[in-house]
Chains A and B, each alone.
Chain A
Amino acid sequence: MSESSPKKAPSRRQFLTGAAAAGAGAVAAGAARAAGPDPLITDVQDWARATGEGVDATPYGLPIEFESDVVRRNVEWLTADTISSINFTPIHALDGTITPQGCAFERHHSGAIELRKDDYRLMINGLVDTPLVFTYGDLERFPRENRVYFCECAANTGMEWAGAQLNGAQFTHGMIHNMEYSGVPLRSLLQEAGVKPEGKWVYVEGADASSNGRSIPLEKAMDDVMVAFKANGEALRKEHGYPVRLVVPGWEGNMWVKWLRRVEVMEGPVESREETSKYTDTLANGTSRKWTWVMDAKSVVTSPSPQAPIRHGPGPLVITGLAWSGRGAITGVDVSVDGGITWMPARLAAPGTDKALTRFYLDHNWDGSEMLLQSRAKDSTGYVQPTKAQLREVRGENSIYHNNCVQTWWVKENGEAENVEVS
């Protein structure tokens, strides 16, 4: 599969459309005795003779060109304009749990703005003893924390309510990322201003033209909400709210206000556009749930999946995926290869941690036959990820948000996979 091999390796698309048999055959043969000496070994290759790039060739590096397909993708028909839209993390091609910032999904309401640290101001006002203004430099002087949390858009998997629709884990489950944040507890800033006893909520608002704002109960604001300025060790990216964003662990991504400029302590919620007309879940009878902030336990097999087909024959196969819960830590993930008739406990790469992604593996001996591949997460509150039928029974098909159903990939004999629904 190397770039420099004399014959072009089959593309993923060719693989999907029929040239698969030959490809799979060739690779399968690799398990037996090689047909002849491999020129990649017997010939001296260019990279083993000549020198490579010096240091400083790329002062800030991007992934090597061979990984150019591992990028965020947009589904154009979803929204009117990319300025107010969303794209998807390529979870099918990533491993581990930390999402690199450069390919972590973006959601903007009026575009990603450029706000310099010097121009940054954060106001705390409302029901406080002293309304305050902080500069970026002020924030850096508060005692700091590091925490890993997932951020999932409430609409992740939202296109799948009425049926199997998008063919790829990136598109069905890619409105999620998981980063290590450095910042200060919102509690510290609120205490600095002094919250009055009648204060029960905070309203948090961004500096961009959408003024995206959400109401958060004071109890949560004083608990684990962070005002973050670094992610994965470096400054936040523009598209994730540089220089400062809010981190609201376990709760829907829309509340993680980017370019955070104001926190107002209030008696009641503002009932802003984003917490009434959007991010409310309409049930079958036409009434709608509001304040559905917590993201329930959920998991997905990221490989094999439609964008990550099996490229080898029968034998050892690594089935892997991600699991998470906004209510606590993942305690276990089960995997089924027969559409949910029997389940096998998967191996967690590391013990689950609170409101963060957990990587799971099932080291499987594939017999080369079709699979209906599913995963099912359990969390520390005893919650078990439901099937789509179970969810529809309670919520109908018009919820848009909070679809945390068990996902099924139909893996065919040639290794190709498709998003399906099963009985």
Chain B
Amino acid sequence: MSKFLNLLAGIALVSTCAAAPAMAEKLGLGRAALPEEIAAWDLDVSPDGTGLPAGSGSVEDGEMLFAEHCAICHGDFAEGVDNWPKLAGGKGTLADKDPLKTVGSYWPYLSTAWDYVNRSMPFGNAQTLSADDTYAIVAYILYSNDLVEDDFVLSDENFLDVEMPNAGGFIVDDREATEAHFWTSEPCMEDCKDTVEITMRAAVLDVTPEEIGTEAGQDQNGHSAAASHGEARVEEAKAVEASAALDAELVSAGEKVFKKCKACHQVGDGAKNKTGPTLNGIVGASAGQVDGFKYSKVMQAAASDGLVWSEDELAAFLAKPKDYMNGTKMSFAGLKKDEDVHAVIAYLMSFQQ
């Protein structure tokens, strides 16, 4: 802190001298923040519970909410899907070769989980959960880590009673003490060791991404970089041609709406299945047919009943996915505005094949 005090002292000196830049003098810029504005943005919650709103939620409600909003990435039991974070398990693994760091095994404060769910989740649809929903989801995450019973209800009143197993597992940065020997100033320059042997090679693992086109114009498959760029341009041109009949303004509005879908869906050249299936050519296509995507049971059933994604069917689905198809994996609340629905369908139609 001594540096900080010196700094303040320096500023005090400077401000007495009229010729120097008046750093500590207020410039009168900005305006006072209104209480409503502060309330809208100041949402963070501290370990002592400061910032928690009144409310409560049960493990039972949390299980339903988790299935609806979270399970698509984090799994029904918070065990994690693909590379998405695992939220449960890992107890006692922190000293293992590959520790599993979850809310239960690693996170020191419950406030962190509440704060993060409240402000940053669900992924792609943040800040849509109510306080009670957030309490319920956090209660379910605790339950999935065997930290509370199935009849537990979490609230602002019992929040600080929950004990986090790894609360004592952290120390403040001690590098300057434990690594003091790295401050050697004059390191060895000659005869620093007797022999040197290679003990490990990256090429053995072979996990490095492939080279891309070089200035010599060839990539590793012998395709010239120029040609593959050319192909991409041709594809782009085709897409533009196909959409010529579409209202360009509507398509462009749809592209903006599609940002809400992007967290899970890809469309266009090189699109891959992500959390949701690729959407190239989806308008007018039979439902549940994208290769390699694992659809929900209800979607599979609808597909075998011959559901076709006509513009009308798609519009109904996108307006309220869960109402249209109870049990769909698509954890999206729906597009409230008809114009957004039409715009996004127009945008998807620009990717017909």
List residues of A whose CB falls within 8 A of some B CB: 1, 3, 8-14, 65-69, 71, 73-81, 83-84, 109-111, 123-126, 130-135, 138, 141-143, 163-168, 171, 187-188, 191-194, 203, 205, 209-211, 213, 218-219, 222-223, 261-262, 264, 266, 268-273, 276-277, 280, 282, 284-294, 296, 306-307, 334, 338-343, 372, 376, 378, 381-384, 386, 390, 394, 397-398, 410, 418-423
Cβ–Cβ contact B189 & A296, under 8 A: no
* Residue B19 interfacial (CB < 8 Å): no
> Can you name 11 A-B pairs with beta carbons within 8 Å?
A11-B214, A13-B211, A67-B215, A133-B33, A164-B202, A164-B205, A211-B43, A277-B106, A342-B192, A410-B201, A420-B201
* Minimal Cβ-Cβ distance residue in A for B218: A11
Given A164-B201, A276-B108, A292-B175, are A384 and B187 neighbors across the interface (CB < 8 Å)? Answer: yes
Binds A, one of B176-184, B284-292, B305-313, B328-336: B176-184
Residues of B within 8 Å of A334, CB to CB, are 187, 189
Residues of A within 8 Å of B217, CB to CB, are 3, 8, 11
Interface flags for B314-350 (1: CB within 8 Å of A; 0: not) read 0000000000000000000000000000000000000
Residues of B within 8 Å of A287, CB to CB, are 94, 169-171
Contact of B202 among A143, A165, A209 (CB under 8 A): A165
* Residue B220 interfacial (CB < 8 Å): yes
Given A211-B120, A273-B116, A381-B183, are A222 and B7 neighbors across the interface (CB < 8 Å)? Answer: yes
Q: Counting chain B CB atoms within 10 Å of each CB, which of A74, A75, A138, A277 scores highest?
A: A277
Residues of B within 8 Å of A11, CB to CB, are 214, 216-220
* Residue B83 interfacial (CB < 8 Å): yes
Docked Cα-Cα span, A180 to B108, in Å, equals: 37
Q: Whole-angstrom distance from the CB of A63 to the nearest CB of chain B?
A: 11
Contact of B199 among A167, A222, A266, A422 (CB under 8 A): A422
Residues of A within 8 Å of B109, CB to CB, are 271, 276
* Residue B158 interfacial (CB < 8 Å): no
* Residue B300 interfacial (CB < 8 Å): no
* Minimal Cβ-Cβ distance residue in A for B200: A421
Docked Cα-Cα span, A325 to B291, in Å, equals: 49
Cβ–Cβ contact B199 & A423, under 8 A: yes
* Residue B174 interfacial (CB < 8 Å): yes
Q: Whole-angstrom distance from the CB of B160 to the nearest CB of chain A?
A: 14
Given A211-B126, A292-B173, are A9 and B190 neighbors across the interface (CB < 8 Å)? Answer: no
Docked Cα-Cα span, A418 to B97, in Å, equals: 26
Cβ–Cβ contact A10 & B119, under 8 A: no
* Minimal Cβ-Cβ distance residue in A for B11: A191
Docked Cα-Cα span, A385 to B235, in Å, equals: 49
Residues of B within 8 Å of A205, CB to CB, are 41, 44
Residues of A within 8 Å of B134, CB to CB, are none
How many B residues, CB 8 Å from partner?
99
Identify 4 new A-B residue pairs, CB closer than 8 A, beyond the known A166-B207, A383-B182. A133-B32, A164-B201, A164-B205, A291-B173
Cβ–Cβ contact B41 & A123, under 8 A: yes
Residues of B within 8 Å of A203, CB to CB, are 44
Interface flags for B66-98 (1: CB within 8 Å of A; 0: not) read 000000010000000011100000000011011
Docked Cα-Cα span, A269 to B47, in Å, equals: 9
Residues of B within 8 Å of A273, CB to CB, are 112, 115-116, 120
Contact of A171 among B27, B107, B208 (CB under 8 A): B208
Which residues 16-71 in B have Cβ within 8 Å of A in the complex?
A: 21, 23-24, 26-27, 29-33, 37-38, 41-48
Docked Cα-Cα span, A79 to B217, in Å, equals: 30
Cβ–Cβ contact A341 & B191, under 8 A: yes
Q: Whole-angstrom distance from the CB of A186 to the nearest CB of chain B?
A: 13
